[in-house]
Every structure is written in C-alpha cells, then in structure tokens.
A and B are shown apart, each in its own frame.
Chain A
C-alpha cells in the first residue's frame, strides 16, 4: 500500500526519503554492493502481580537505526540510537568500511513510494501512549484470583502481562522501502502447589499478535490460571521419569518444539551455506518418515511467529521444509539467498536494530496426518506420553538436540498412567523423525509463548504439531 500521509518515522523522527538516500549513498561510498537502513521503534509495557499485589509496572521505549553494508560475503554493521542526520551518516560511514574501494553502486531513488504493510495478519495499533493500563491490569488480577481459587494447595501465584508495539522501516539500495507495525501481547501464570512436604510448579501462558479482546474468548486469564494450577497439582504426585530408549508419543501443540530443534535450526540457510549443519547438502534426501511434512509459515493470522514482512523488508511466506519425509529446502535471508542462488524465503529476522539479520524461523509445524490420537496411545506397550515442554536446544553441527518435558506420563499397555517428573529427551536431528510411525489428525499450534535464541539474538516464534508417535527416542529420567 502506498500512502501519502507522513509515515511514523518521518513524523516522529524526521526521517525523510532524501535523508535515507544520503545515508545509503554514504554507506556505499567505499564500494559496498548492498546497503540497508533498518529503523526500529519499540514501546513496551509489563505488569506483574505477585502475592496478589501489583508489584511491578514498567514501560519502556527505544528507537534506533542499524545500518548494514554487504560486500561479497562480508558484512559491515553499525547502529545508532540517536536518529539525527549526523549520527545516521556517521553510522553509515562506519558500516561502509567493510568495503574498500571506489563506489560501484548507485542508490535507487526512493521517492515517496513507502510500502506500508497492510495489516492483514495482525492489527496495527495506533496509540503510542497507553490508554488501557487498567484493562491490562484487570487481566492479570483475574489470572491471580482464578489460580488461587483453583485449589487450596495452590500457595503462590505470579501472573504477568507484557506487550509491545514494534514499528520497523527498512530501506535498502535494492529498492526496498517498506514499513510494518508489529504488536505482541502475552499473559503468563506461574503457580506453586504445596502438599505436606511436597512442592511443585506449573506454568502456563499465551498470546500473540492480537488485541486485548483475545483474552475475553476461550483463552481467558482464568484458562491460563487453571492450566498453571493443574500442572502444579499434577506434579505433586509425579514419579521419576524413566531412563533410556523407548517409544514416545508427543501431544499436539507446544511439543512441536521437537521440530524447531530437531530440524528447524539445521535448515536455516546460513549454516548450510557454510556447510556447518548436519543437514548440509541434503536437499532431496530422506530426513524423516514419509508421514512427515514440515512447514515454516510466517503468514498465519495473529500468531506470535507471524510477520507481514521480515526485518529485511521481504514478504513473509509459507515454505515447505520437509515434504513426505524428503528435505525440500532451507530458510534463508537476502545474503544466503544471493550466495546460494535461491529465492528469498522471507526469514531474515533480528532481535533489534543493534543486530544483523539472519535466517530465523517464524511458525514451524508438522501437517496433520490421519491417525486417531487414541489409537496412537493404544499402540504403545511401554513408553512416554509428553504433552508440555519447557525449552529445547540443538548442536547444529552434530545434529544432537534436546527438549525438556514439563508434563509427561507413563504409557503402560496402551494406557496413560502416572505423571512423571521433568525429563529431557535427546535425539539426533537427521535421524529422529525417521522414527515417526503415526501422525494424528489433531494439528494444533502452541499458545503463543515461544522465544527462539540464536547467536545471542531472541525472536518470537511459534511451533505446532499433531499427536505423533516416535518408535524410538531417548528419555533422560532417573527411573527404570
């Protein structure tokens, strides 16, 4: 969409097309091939209720610009949190130093053709200052009340709310001149249950790129509160998790973190361009059973991992990573797409203007199969049924990955029995999904709390999965 009224960065910081062109010209003055300005402004609010008191209430604003220059495989980067012409030009000159030679590239005139992303996936909040503090606080108070009322054994509750509005503007020497406004909301509940000398915790939360009214529907503060309390109570009577290789059934939704760790990171193009990933050179090869199709999709409305455009100004897309078990392609950004000679998949993301973009996931999930979830559980003689996880991690090069179950049960003779204590599951990325023997029809996406860390940069992501059965996976408990 082309607009005539002044854009956010123009109105607030006086960033004009002429200034952007000057900076891009300065950035390319030493012979760089590509230059990019990434303007970002973030306003955030967080509220915390603890011991039924509003103990924390905070707001923050930050703004800055990151300037990147590419010369072959080299990247020069500089940023500034003062958006004056002098500071911007100085940052452009610093980034330009990566190249050394006369200017080769001229700057395309940007004119006034700023492409503002149409808010089709998520709303574009207008207000900078917050008129809704009390409404937000009411949500947190409701969560606190509901968790405490759930059971007398719930002794401690911490509930919190956090939101941010992130505005970005990307202008680059390849003609990119795009902006987007990206809201994010999250509600979280932590509950502690005590019974005699036993103590256990439960955690639940959710949100996404949604308006506050989201929490008035099924995903209410009471829903998350009950969920946190339920998990804490369940853990009071958990038995030690088993140890060793066994059949594992993963429930729908958040257990999709398996995909994020087992294959997702390994399929980011930067690792594959450098041949440092266990999946390097494997496009076209079998990396999973034929029941497995995995996509990364940045275009699902309202999801935490969704973006209209990535942090290089490219449209987000739905990309098939694994199709019926065959590796189809990698997730890339402008640099990797250019160096590998492939299309840009729109996965160039960054934590903030202080960091360079790189290939990152958006919402990564497995497509539904045809099995009945009950049949999947019934097929297991002795195994583990894991339905909730904490986080995970992966060693890209060896392919070994872990993810830690926070709610799991034993399966004995096809029946779900005792809850088990926290345990980490470990596997090898290129092998693990070959053991997927059943895939349920119950695909679900997570509640909207995922953060993904890579090289010190955190970005919000989503995961999802139907119920699946892995014929073999290592469970890291202490029991027999």
Chain B
C-alpha cells in the first residue's frame, strides 16, 4: 500500500479512514474500481477600505467526490458524483449516483485508475503547512489589512481613493484514496496581503493598480508597508497614460505578465489538447518550439511553494519535468488517461476537483533566470513597450493566435518614457516562443507559475 500520510495529525488519518471506507462501499455496490477525494478548507478574510473595516469573513467547508469504474470486455465505464453531505444517507446517494452514471457512459479501453506500481508520494519535506497563518488574533489580522492600505494611501497625494487592503488566511486538507491501495493526505496553508489604491491624474482620470504578497507562513509574508508602497508605485506610474500609433515593436514582458507566456506553453503541451490535435504543439515532441535559450520546468517538489504537493490528483508522486529544454519540446503534460491515449507515461499532472474526471494542471512552472537585469533588457530597445498588465484573455490554443488588451510604459531610447493604455498586443504564440530574445535575472516565485522578465520581438501594437 502506498501511504502518503506522514506528518499529519490523527484527524487526517481519521478522514483517510473515512475515504477508504467509502471506496469499500462503492466496491460493494458493484464498482470494479473506485477513487475518493475528501477536501476540507477554511478561510479568514478581512477587507479594510479607506481606513475602516469593510468586511470580515470567517468560515469553513468540506466536500467529498467519488469516481467509480465498471470494468467490461470493451473497457471501463466511469461515473462520478460529489456532495457536501457527509452523512451516511448523503454518502449512500453519492455511491448510487456515481454507479448509475457509470452505467450510461461508454466503455473506453484507455479509461481507468493508474497501475498500482505508479502510486506514491514525494518523499521529501515539502513545507506546505504552517499553523502560523492563523496565529494572529482577529484584531491583528484586521490591523494588517489596515496597514497595507494605509501604506498605499499615504504614499502620495495623488492617491485619492482605494479599493481596499486585505489580509487573507486559509488552510486546506485533501485526502485521496482508491481501490488499488493508494491513500494519501496533504495539508496546505496560505496567507496573503494586498492593496489596490486608486490615483487621480491631471485631467481627473483615475487609475488603479495593486500589489500583493502571499506565502505559506506568516514569517515569509512581505511587510504591509512594503506591499502598500509597491501598490502605490505601480498605480502612480500609470497616471496620464496615452495611446501610441499602431506599429510593430519589441515588447518587454514584466515578470507578472511574462508568467502568462509560460502558462500558454503549458496549455499548448496539455495532453488533453495534444491527443485530439487541438494544440499547435501536437506532434512536436523533440522539435524546436521556442528560442534555443528557453528552458521551462514544471516541478511539484519545491519546498514551500504554492504549486508543490506530494501526489497528484490520481495519487502519483509529483516530480520535476522539463517541458522545454534549450527550445526543444521534451515533454507533454499528462495524466493517466491522456498518457494512455498517447502511449506515454503520466507526468503526474492530474488535477482532481471534487467532481468529474481528472484534468491536467501544472505544479510550479518556471523559466530559470537569465543573466541580464530588467534595466539592461530595456536599455537595448530604441522603441518598444514595457508591458505590465493584460486586459482580457484573447488566446486561441488551436492556432496560436494571440491578441490581448494591454497597458504599460513606452520605451524610448532604452528608457521608460511614459505610460500607455488602451492598446492591444497581438501575434502568434508559435512565433512568439521563437522570438524570445532576452531573459531577465529576476525570477521570483510570487505564485506557482513564475517567470523572469522576457523580451519578445515582432509583436503588433494596435492603437491610435
């Protein structure tokens, strides 16, 4: 039996026992295989606006999801159900419903749980849970939210209004158990601070921007004063923005938007799109899909980070996967089903919600830092855009067509000259990946997907 319940309180073992009992109940009701996920979470959220407490939220919830399989000659049928009702009658409904649903689904030879030999959990210390996120009394948590907003409001006279400051804390527990012997539990904690100040420009025009810090432990959170000051700086630099004429220029993606380029790469490598030919990465394994300087890694085993977890949504141990190495596509992102469709092993990328079949997601997705400072990258550009925010999604993963609303700062003779807004940035991802011509040295994991500053050439700016 692959057990992944180390360092957990007795309570988690008790839930693991409940999950295993539900697996047994499903087998007794006729399932040939079954998988149960139990999730518990709680949250605290304090919002302060213009110095006054605005909302206080404090709650918790739990839910259970069941997936059952019915084996037959032509493959396995699958059905799933979920519920917030963990009473015996609620669980009885869950089992009956999942089996009824499996009966109407089609037998599929690729369907089914992973092979028992694949199960397990990452064995190292992942440092995902800290009680400290709840250690502050309510009053001090509200004070954190007040301080982060006050730091933003007090930074400059042009900051006239605010969408507030917040402090959030949350913990979660997930338990996964299946009929092939896997049982695992994992806890996580989160705390975060954010401020969204609003500044007024010369013509009375308003701009907002924000900044936040989040961590798994209170001690790693940036101070409210740091976060508030950065939120103010970002808001002020947007004031009195203009449009620029339609043209083709190099674009420097700040880290907070560059990460979406990595996200697009992961979407393109998503096995679910690959096997059906719905991604422009289909059939490109081993091919040059990005500039030769580009390496992109997906790693679920980095201690303390938000994308880390000991096992994936099907109970496979997480690992480090190189997606792109020196511009060459080395791996797709696969769960068991999409792996079988492609004749490849799972990359432990299964994502499991309470309901439905496992999907696919990344863990910590990043591009290792380069050599140049962001200033050096900007300094090399006579005319271009320093992109700091996107508006809308506008990405077609089938064709790679890319067109998004944007704002940022205009680069003139290697320096940031003035803010720009109400423009679009457009290109095609296939070419954009190839046209990454500079990588910054500023990689920082502010979220599970992280990128240093990137320069991409040949994008079309549409404006005045």
Contacts and interface: CB of A to CB of B under 8 A. Distances in A.
Contacts of B161: 274-276
Given A199-B399, A201-B278, A476 B78 contact: no
Interface stretch (A110-118, A396-404, A436-444): A396-404
Contacts of B85: 61, 63
Given A393-B392, A402-B405, A73 B52 contact: yes
A158 B273 CA distance: 12
B62 interface: yes
B65 to A, nearest CB: 8
Interface stretch (B122-130, B223-231, B349-357, B370-378): B349-357
Interface stretch (B1-9, B97-105, B249-257, B434-442): B97-105
Interface in B359-391: 391
B145 to A, nearest CB: 13
B173 to A, nearest CB: 15
B49 to A, nearest CB: 7
A404 B101 CA distance: 36
Contacts, number: 252
Contacts of A79: 59, 61
Contacts of A391: 392-393
A77 B108 CA distance: 46
Nearest to B97: A59
Contact of A474 (B63, B206, B392, B422): B422
B398 interface: yes
Interface in B29-68: 49, 52-59, 61-63
A276 B61 contact: no
A356 B105 CA distance: 37
Contacts of A428: 422
User: Taking each of A46, A156, A403, A476, which has the highest tally of chain B beta carbons within 10 Å of its own beta carbon?
Assistant: A476
Interface residues of A, number: 77
Given A58-B81, A397-B198, A76 B404 contact: no
A166 interface: no
A137 B104 contact: yes
Interface string A79-112: 1110000000001001001100000000000000
A47 B198 CA distance: 45
Contacts of B53: 74, 98
Interface stretch (A49-57, A217-225, A362-370): A49-57
Contacts of A158: 276
A427 B422 contact: yes
A50 B59 CA distance: 38
Contact of A402 (B55, B356, B391, B401): B391
B106 A54 contact: yes
B462 A421 contact: no
A474 B463 contact: yes
Contacts of B426: 241, 243, 423-424, 476-478
Given A245-B464, A426-B424, A58 B207 contact: no
A193 B100 CA distance: 34
Nearest to A395: B391
A397 B207 contact: yes
Contacts of B276: 50-51, 156, 158, 192
A60 B37 CA distance: 13
Contacts of B198: 276, 397
A16 interface: no
A398 B420 CA distance: 12
B425 to A, nearest CB: 7
B181 interface: no
Given A55-B78, A133-B101, A390 B424 contact: no
A392 interface: yes
B158 to A, nearest CB: 14
Contacts of B427: 478
B56 A424 contact: no
A400 B422 contact: yes
A290 to B, nearest CB: 24
Interface of B: 49, 52-59, 61-63, 78-85, 90, 93, 97-98, 100-102, 104-106, 108, 111, 138, 161, 163, 198, 205-208, 238, 246, 276-278, 280, 354-357, 391-394, 396, 398-399, 401, 403-405, 407, 421-428, 460-464
8 contacts: A57-B78, A60-B81, A63-B85, A76-B56, A243-B462, A275-B161, A390-B394, A475-B462
Given A97-B138, A243-B461, A424-B392, 8 more contacts: A59-B355, A75-B55, A76-B55, A98-B55, A243-B460, A423-B403, A426-B423, A474-B422
- In the A-B complex, the 6 residue pairs with the smallest Cβ-Cβ separation, listed nearest first, are A476-B424, A402-B405, A402-B392, A57-B101, A244-B246, A243-B462
